[in-house]
Structure 1
């Protein structure tokens, strides 16, 4: 079996059609609704209601969530309706409200006879949906989160768990454009849907792969002043931007606003056509993102000290934790300890908590099983959260620990950290070109990782701020050497010596520095003997 065959099998691509669809996905415009798990009748009902509202000048509100997916989804649908001359305004639910997403309090901002369209939220908001009915507000729910046994009452529910919230919004907007007599040209919002899809870490396979593959092309040629300014501030060449750069540079800046500041500023940045405004908003996003990084590190350091690896579930809490950052800290703890993690921010009367989990433990089911112990809940099997009264936290902790106690040692074992063994003499441009066909990389389709054993270390030196990283030269059989970079592993310099044999887990990248192109290894893990 070849390296490529192994990679395809690991991604579940075992038929000729699946492989062909993976390497040559159709454009998202050609993907059918049934293929996405979206009810065509619901799309039709939503389009009918929206079209009627536009025709009579009825106020329409796009009710979005405050994370990067929700912000992107809001921008996609707002722009589409704005181009259709709708009387439309965005609304993004603040993080500091007790209920995330569609809420009775949020709906109180809108007058009777308004049309409210949710994006990236609302699928479990029964109380709010019933409140909208009583207030004479028509409601269209578009969401991708896990529903309960049935949907809340609404004029239309456009839902699938296959896409991100921005993806659902994009398909609705695309069908709305198709039904319009205006025959609009220009931007479709695919660049923004791409950001939301990557940011929300949905598997980049199937329709999501199509959205991102074609969306990255739109992103690379985007005329948006906000995206240009954001990329420049992040020292990214927008014309060559990758899914990895979206995930680790653009998306965190958008997310930071929802976590610590006003996510409407992130929305304004995406939609503005004014260069100076884009630059001033970018400065604000960068400042908030730096604050997010500093506070997250402080919280993670504290939470890590409190974590007990011996239990099947880690549960840490503090009144000093910021509720907007608990998910980030939980995610980092899962990476390190490989078990479900709950991180809770304690308030005087209420607690907001985030859970990050493993494939072997369904986070949203575990939280739903808490019943009346929680006031609000939502999320996915791998990432969920809840709000509860502080007095109930001990019972919640006990119940979640009991649920996780069923996990076996096998359940808590990290998955294989590499795809296959590949000696360094097999690393060449032909292989690299084949691997590039797997792009865009992301959740569900990670960059291929390989294991090379007993590699001779020729030289090394620390690089970066505070010598955090490590630059290495490795011997290749029958060749001179190949360079490698090991991010975040500068501390190993004290344990290494030239001529030493090491095992490495690595990916293959192209280095275009010094006006020449060469292959370079990006080392994820180094094993010393």
Structure 2
């Protein structure tokens, strides 16, 4: 993939640097992120909850709140219907926590990944009906469950949908559909995760209840829910811009001091120091352990961890999730090797579609993501039998939902986002789907814009100063939509290189008389003809250890200059 250095805007850069007392490179980083005025820059660099939009600006929020308040006043049984990924689990826990804080006990239900699959199911609805549920609130699902919601209605249950997945025809039997994808393009709510929407619902309920004197003004502080919002939002890889930047920035601070023993136990078993939590540690240490329950067992175990107030139970559940995550890693490694064997010789330029009846459907998404990362092509990984479920992952320049729609007649069901989706297919249709879907992707990719890596600028080592690195930290939290500032530099000499952690490359980068420590995660297999004349892309960062700190380069890519 080629590198593309983003163009400078000297006039705006100088204005921002002068007015905000910023390093010129920091000012250019703001410009690169579409921030051109002082007020927007201040909001970006200092995210505040006060800048969040009114929850009642979301479509259907008002009728959803009105119906829930009626249920509370009439003592109706409310049920929360979630999903088995981290976003769905945290959204379920968030609403359950909120209702508990106002003295209301609710039912919770998360479907079994293998036995029921994603979203509302007749089995789940019937179970909740037997438990006395009268009002059902979905979180992180429901937008495509028209038949299931209609079924719930025949049982005398009313349904409020909260979801953030792509909107098709609205489920007409639902009394409210709170989904930011119903908003117009550019609306700030469109970036929200399922847990983010659940948080907004809790905020709206609290606001209305306080206005109607149903809650005291000093009642439950919704900020205590932001630890869950940070977990769900980061894990679901939604853009960390706008609203999500505020929620995650505050939520990471809330995680550091969370009063919930389950989260503390999970951080402890992952060997995380609460004061140094980041989006990376959440994404690579906490989220996989929470996800492991839904992948290999039942997501109820992860939900129990997030809900328990018992320290001993929290420790036991954290140990259980850690064990499941280790099992997941073993399955993942085996499945990935088998997938690589299947795709040997398939160089048609379309999608990679692999399948095996013994593959665990709970791990197919991870394997699909690794295939995309290695081959820069869309990937479908299908497992299970006789119900075959597949995970679909795409490159950034291809909307995979559009491709799946063209093969809809072959699928039992499908849904998801532009770059990540899921499907269910009959085993006898897999081969025909493989041919058709790969060809469709090939045609779409032929017309797609070429992919490139955006680089914030070319940077010599002598420019890297404590002021610049401290200002770069203000751009966090980093993630989708807000990547770490990335720079490039030529004429690098590599010294004292070695492999650490089996696959990472550690070395000293020498440039114009300055030597800096460098680490390249997963770059251990990089082959270079010489250790001279190297070009790199890198993120500069502080390496803090034992009370001291020094500049380190986190290298993303190495190339030999010809």
Q: Does 1:211 align with 2:247?
A: yes
- Aligned-pair CA distance for 1:152: 4.0
1:132 aligns with 152
- 1:491, distance to aligned residue in structure 2 (A): 4.0
Relative to structure 1, the CA distance from residue 28 to residue 170 in structure 2 (aligned partners, 3 Å threshold; closer, same or farther) is farther
- Higher deviation after alignment, 180-189 or 444-453: 180-189
Alpha-carbon displacement from aligned partner over 1:156-208 (angstroms, at most 9, x marks no partner): 11111321000000000111122222232346311101110010000000111
Structure 1 residue 476: deviation in Å? Answer: 4.1
How many Å apart are 1:460 and its aligned residue?
A: 2.5
**Kept after mapping to 1: 8 A contact 2:492/2:510:** yes
1:305-344 to structure 2, matched below 5 A, reads: 305-307=341-343, 308-344=346-382
Contact 1:503 1:527 in 2 (8 A): yes
Deviations 1:419-454 (A, max 9, x none): 322122222212111211110000111112221111
C-alpha contact 1:58 1:87 (8 A) present in aligned 2: no
1-side partners of 2:52 and 2:523: how far apart? 45
The 1:309–1:449 alpha-carbon spacing in structure 2 relative to 1, beyond 3 Å, is farther
Structure 1 residues not aligned, in runs of 5+: none
1:245-260 equivalences in 2 (<5 Å) = 245-260=281-296
Shift of 1:501: 3.6
* Residues 290-332 of structure 1: CA deviation (Å, up to 9, x unaligned): 1111111111122123233432211111123211111111111
Q: Structure 1 residues 325-334 or 150-159, which shifts more?
A: 150-159
Counterpart in the other structure of 2:102: 84
Instruction: Note if contact 1:339-1:412 (Cα within 8 Å) is conserved in structure 2.
Output: no
Residue 475 (structure 1) aligned with residue 510 (structure 2): yes
Q: Does 1:168 align with 2:203?
A: no
Q: In the alignment, which of 95, 114, 138 is matched to residue 118 of structure 1?
A: 138
Match of 1:229 among 246, 257, 265: 265
Between 118-127 and 181-190, report the one with greater CA deviation.
Answer: 181-190
The number of residues matched between the two structures is 519
1:94 to partner: Cα distance: 0.9
Task: Give the SS at the match of 1:297.
Answer: helix
Write out per-residue CA displacement over residues 329-348 of structure 1, whole angstroms, 9 at most, x where no aligned residue: 11111111112111111413
1:6 CA drift (Å):
4.4
Match of 2:187 in 1: none
452, 455, 467: which one pairs with 2:492? 455
Question: What secondary structure does 2:245 align onto?
Answer: helix
Does the 8 A contact of 1:11 with 1:444 survive in 2? no
TM-score scaled to structure 2, two decimals?
0.87
CA distance in 2, matches of 1:448, 1:194: 21
Of 195, 215, 220 in structure 2, the residue corresponding to residue 182 of structure 1 is 215
Q: Distance in 2 between matches of 1:49 and 1:212?
A: 29
2:402 to 343, 361, 365: 365
**Runs of 5+ consecutive residues of structure 2 not aligned to the other structure:** 1-7, 9-23, 182-189
Q: What is the rounded CA distance, in whole Å, between the counterparts of 2:31 and 2:429 in structure 1?
A: 46
TM-score w.r.t. structure 1 length?
0.93
Determine helix, strand or coil for the equivalent of 1:407.
helix
1:7 aligns with 29
Give the drift of 1:114: 1.4
Q: Indicate yes or no: 2:405 matched with 1:405.
A: no
**Offset of 1:488 from its aligned partner?**
2.5
Structure 1 counterpart SS, 2:152: helix
Q: 1:93 aligns with which of 108, 111, 121?
A: 111
- Could you tell which deviates more after superposition, 214-223 or 360-369? 360-369
Q: Deviations over 1:22-45 (max 9, x none)?
A: 22333167422476xx21xx2222
- Where do residues 1-40 of structure 1 align in structure 2 (5 Å cutoff)? 1=8, 2-27=24-49, 30-33=52-55, 38-39=58-59
Contact kept in structure 1, 2:397 and 2:450, CA below 8 Å = no
Which residue of the other structure, out of 413, 416, 419, is the alignment partner of 1:379?
Answer: 416
SS at match of 2:362: coil
- 1:363·1:384 contact (CA, 8 Å) conserved in 2? yes
Is the 1:104–1:127 contact (alpha carbons within 8 Å) kept by the matching residues of 2? no
Deviates more, 1:61-70 or 1:428-437: 428-437
Alignment partners' CA distance in 2, 1:53 and 1:304:
53
- Aligned counterpart for 1:509 among listed residues 526, 535, 541: 541
Q: 1:230 Cα shift? A: 0.8
- SS of 1:386's equivalent in the other structure is strand
Match of 2:122 among 101, 104, 121: 104
Q: How far apart, in 1, do the equivalents of 2:95 and 2:432 lie?
A: 41
Asked if 1:354 corresponds to 2:391, the answer is yes
Deviation at 1:356, TM superposition (A): 0.7
Match of 1:486 among 520, 540, 547: 520
8 Å Cα contact 2:509-2:516 kept in structure 1: yes
